[in-house]
Structure 1
Amino acid sequence: MPLPFIATLAALLYLVATGLQVLSLAQRAAHASRTLVLVTVLALGCHALVAWDNVAVGEGVHLGFYKISALIFLVINIACLASILWRRPLQNLLLVTFPLSAVAVLVSTFGPQTDTSSGQLGPGLLVHVASSILAYAVLTLAAVQAALVAVQDYQLRHRHPGGIVRVLPPLQLMETMLFELLWAGVLLLTLAIATGFLFVEDLFAQHLVHKTTLTIIAWLTFSTLLWGHYQLGWRSQTAVRFTLAGFAALMLAFFGSKLVLELILT
């Protein structure tokens, strides 16, 4: 089966799953339906085939701007689906991640090749790359969750119980899930930074210094939030601001550096 067809099928399945989730919200369903889970699994299967074909080239790997974006969205969706099956009501995040995944999988297939280099990854570098991708994925979910918490908190403060508040879990549960995602993301990011110092030849080389610095800033931001939450009781809007600030630094560290190196300077 040709790769463009699989990519197009994955995008269509993601859009169908988005529509199913919109219907679930309209019906105020507490849990994801079996149909939604089935369509999601099919979309993930097609997405995985596309991501593997785009990233794995011979005995090496291509981690270009468009290719890695599709891979990260694949991991994001797998993490979100796993959380849903674990009975954490995160299915509302799919309304954001699925349309973006549809775009990412199409661009990675039909877009230009921005990074022509490829190489093998040793065990240490493999752990570094895998933990980095997992950290980005989980912290992306945390950022989307923080945005929903911000909207929900605003509407409750201004006494607007309708709209999105009616279909979201209670605010306390939303905040609990946010900090669960932050803990998982920070642990993975810690592993990524540690393995980077151990196995990357020079993290502060000219082409890596901005990425390394911004990643450390993001780690400090998330870690400060977790400390403030458990020591000072930070929550609601404070948690949202710290989460979005840390996420912005993290995305600039990864996608910002790749954008400059691969699409602007090359």
Structure 2
Amino acid sequence: MLIVTTLIAIVCYMAATAMQWQRLKQNRSDTRNKVLGLGLAGFISHGGAVFLTLHQAEGVNLGFFSVGSLIAWLVAALVLGSSLRQRLDNLFIGVFPMAILALALAALLPGSSQYRAFEGGLLVHILLSILAYSIFTLATLQAILLSRQEAALKQHHTRGLVASLPPLQLMERLLFEMLWVGFILLSLSLLSGMLFVENLFAQHLVHKTVLSIAAWVIYGILLACRHFLGWRGSRATNWTVGGFILLMLGFFGSKLVLELLL
């Protein structure tokens, strides 16, 4: 069943990506519902694959690739949901291939699995961490698109990708909405870690904890400076990407070293 759901999701995501790419090149809008339908079908099948990967007899599988697939699934959910409210369809071109890669790795390379029993507090901490990371992944993609849009407008290149994006002010507002949601989730994640993780600064957790706190500080400074100093444009993009790099190293770096290299 895992292979079947994975293959269905990959085929649907690939078809949706190709169709969206054609929409972008030809500036068409008549195939939008088909792209959304294919993306939704891929998302549903991806969800089935994630469920089969995570739920094992030994507990919840929190291995490197299974968590990566879960995060890709959540990011796809966020983009699909957001695209119903705002025209953010071009994010599909980045998100769906990322989901395909995560699905394939989770199915073909199980790696070193880490199982957790269903402990309420600890699983709350893990869930909050994964949700925060997913939001910041989407915010980073949004920041890169915003930077591309701003540069193109300055050079008076308003065709292709830029022409299909919402207005610059709306893109910027959506970015900071995502950052606020991610920041709140990351704050709750750190707080729940202090409450439910036995030793947050143990040897195997210290790098993750320090890098996550550093990312939290960067996002906090960015949001504060946005509110009080009006930060925007390339400065906001650079700080968003910088915070995400730290968060990625903290979230995946330690898992990569502990599970796949050691």
For Structure 1 versus Structure 2, the TM-score category normalised by the shorter chain is over 0.9
Q: Deviations over 1:62-86 (max 9, x none)?
A: 111111110110111111112122x
> Counterpart in 2 of 1:146?
143
Distance 1:253 1:32, change over 3 A: farther
| Aligned equivalents of 2:20, 2:126: Cα separation in 1 | 32
> Counterpart in 2 of 1:111?
109
| Aligned equivalents of 2:137, 2:212: Cα separation in 1 | 14
In structure 1, give the amino acid aligned to 2:19: L
The question of whether the paired residues in 2 share the 8 Å contact of 1:221 and 1:246 is answered with yes
Distance 1:167 1:63, change over 3 A: same
| Aligned equivalents of 1:210, 1:25: Cα separation in 2 | 41
Helix, strand or coil at the partner of 1:61: strand
| 1:175-186 equivalences in 2 (<5 Å) | 175-186=172-183
| Aligned equivalents of 1:37, 1:44: Cα separation in 2 | 10
Structure 2: tracts of 5 or more residues without a match: none
> Counterpart in 2 of 1:96?
94
> Counterpart in 1 of 2:123?
126
Shift of 1:234: 0.3
CA-based RMSD = 1.6
> Counterpart in 2 of 1:44?
43
| Aligned equivalents of 1:104, 1:191: Cα separation in 2 | 26
TM-score (norm 2): 0.95
The question of whether the paired residues in 2 share the 8 Å contact of 1:17 and 1:39 is answered with yes
Distance 1:142 1:32, change over 3 A: farther
The question of whether the paired residues in 2 share the 8 Å contact of 1:32 and 1:91 is answered with no
Aligned pair count? 262
Distance 1:158 1:223, change over 3 A: same
Query: Which residue, 229, 232, 235 being the options, matches 1:238?
Result: 235
Shift of 1:28: 3.6
| 1:221-232 equivalences in 2 (<5 Å) | 221-232=218-229
Helix, strand or coil at the partner of 1:89: coil
The question of whether the paired residues in 1 share the 8 Å contact of 2:2 and 2:53 is answered with no
TM-score (norm 1): 0.93
| Aligned equivalents of 1:32, 1:251: Cα separation in 2 | 35
Distance 1:31 1:142, change over 3 A: farther
Identity over aligned pairs, percent: 42
The question of whether the paired residues in 2 share the 8 Å contact of 1:18 and 1:98 is answered with yes
The question of whether the paired residues in 2 share the 8 Å contact of 1:30 and 1:89 is answered with no
Q: Deviations over 1:58-108 (max 9, x none)?
A: 2511111111110110111111112122x1222211110101101111110
Q: Deviations over 1:95-129 (max 9, x none)?
A: 101011011111101113222x4121322112111
Q: Deviations over 1:7-62 (max 9, x none)?
A: 11111110111122223323545798222222122111111111111111125111
| Aligned equivalents of 2:80, 2:186: Cα separation in 1 | 21
Helix, strand or coil at the partner of 2:115: coil
Shift of 1:228: 0.6
Structure 1: tracts of 5 or more residues without a match: none
In structure 1, give the amino acid aligned to 2:89: Q
| Aligned equivalents of 2:30, 2:244: Cα separation in 1 | 28
> Counterpart in 2 of 1:206?
203
The question of whether the paired residues in 1 share the 8 Å contact of 2:24 and 2:161 is answered with no
> Counterpart in 2 of 1:55?
54
| Aligned equivalents of 2:9, 2:118: Cα separation in 1 | 28
